[in-house]
Amino acid sequence: MHVLTVLDHPDPESFTASAARSFMAGVEAVGHSVELADLNAEGFDPRWSLADIEADGGGAVPPDVQKEQARLARADAVCLVFPLFWWGMPSMTKGWVDRVWSWGWAYDQLDDPEISLQRPRSGILLVAAGVRSDEMAAGGYLSALETAWIKGTFGYFGFSPRKLEVLYGTKGPLSRRKSLLDQCYRAGYELPAPAAYARRDG
Ligand SMILES: Cc1cc2nc3c(=O)[nH]c(=O)nc-3n(C[C@H](O)[C@H](O)[C@H](O)COP(=O)(O)O)c2cc1C
């Protein structure tokens, strides 16, 4: 498989950047090929613009969106790695999703979140969070994100199978962060094939 990792963090020394590197190491250990979209380092513009609206209506697709769509087109699996900000995506990731997974390219209907214009791709979200897992569940945040992202967003984009892995307690001791990085490596190593491939094999 060819696996695209989309990283959102401005600091290459951050936990989030380390999480992306650990995931890619796991992917490479199985023999898959990797590609990194480092959105901050590359200066991706997350602002939804008039050009994006015109593209939705049949106009030219902005070149930066075309570049990201080409990356996605050659990927069999996609991993988004970002820190949890106010129980949601940071603005860079949010803007990348808004602009790149566009109407007419990724989806064109609104009533079935299991149908996409895109072929099935294995999808995983590795989300770094300061909170503990019990606080996250008790507050209802985990089920809210499962609903918004896994049920409500990434099916439209053809992610199948798809999974949310929250990396809890990133501000904890070194041993904690080390075990979270092991979790990321395993997520890469055990990354499932896209649904269509699984069906063909079966
Ligand atoms: C603006 C901002 C909002 C945040 N919101 C949340 C939040 O809603 N829930 C949470 O668990 N952590 C939250 N955090 C903590 C980040 O998730 C945490 O800093 C991150 O997991 C650590 O990753 P890093 O060291 O790579 O920056 C927030 C941090 C910032 C800067």
pLDDT digits over 56-80, tens only? 888 999 999 999 999 999 999 999 9
Q: What is the DSSP letter of 191?
A: P
pLDDT digits over 171-193, tens only? 999 999 999 999 999 999 999 99
Question: What is the 129 CA–ligand 1 centroid distance (Å)?
Answer: 5
Domain range holding 91?
Answer: 2-201
Q: From the alpha carbon of 136, which atom of ligand 1 is closest?
A: 11
What angle (nearest 5°) sits at the alpha carbon of residue 83, between those of residues 10 and 47? Answer: 60
Distance CA 108, CA 129 (A): 32
* Domain of residue 190, CATH code: 3.40.50.360
Confirm or reject: Cβ of 85 under 6 Å from ligand 1. Answer: yes
Confirm or reject: Cβ of 191 under 6 Å from ligand 1. Answer: no
Residue nearest to atom 3 of ligand 1 (CA): 85
pLDDT greater than 60 at residue 145 = yes
Sheet with 2-7, edge to edge strand ranges: 33-38, 2-7, 77-83, 121-129, 159-168
Residue nearest to atom 2 of ligand 1 (CA): 85
Q: In this structure, what are the phi and psi dihedrals at residue 33, rounded to the nearest 5 degrees?
A: -95, 150
- The full DSSP string for 2-33 is EEEEEE--S-TTSHHHHHHHHHHHHHHHHT-E
Q: How many domains does the chain have?
A: 1
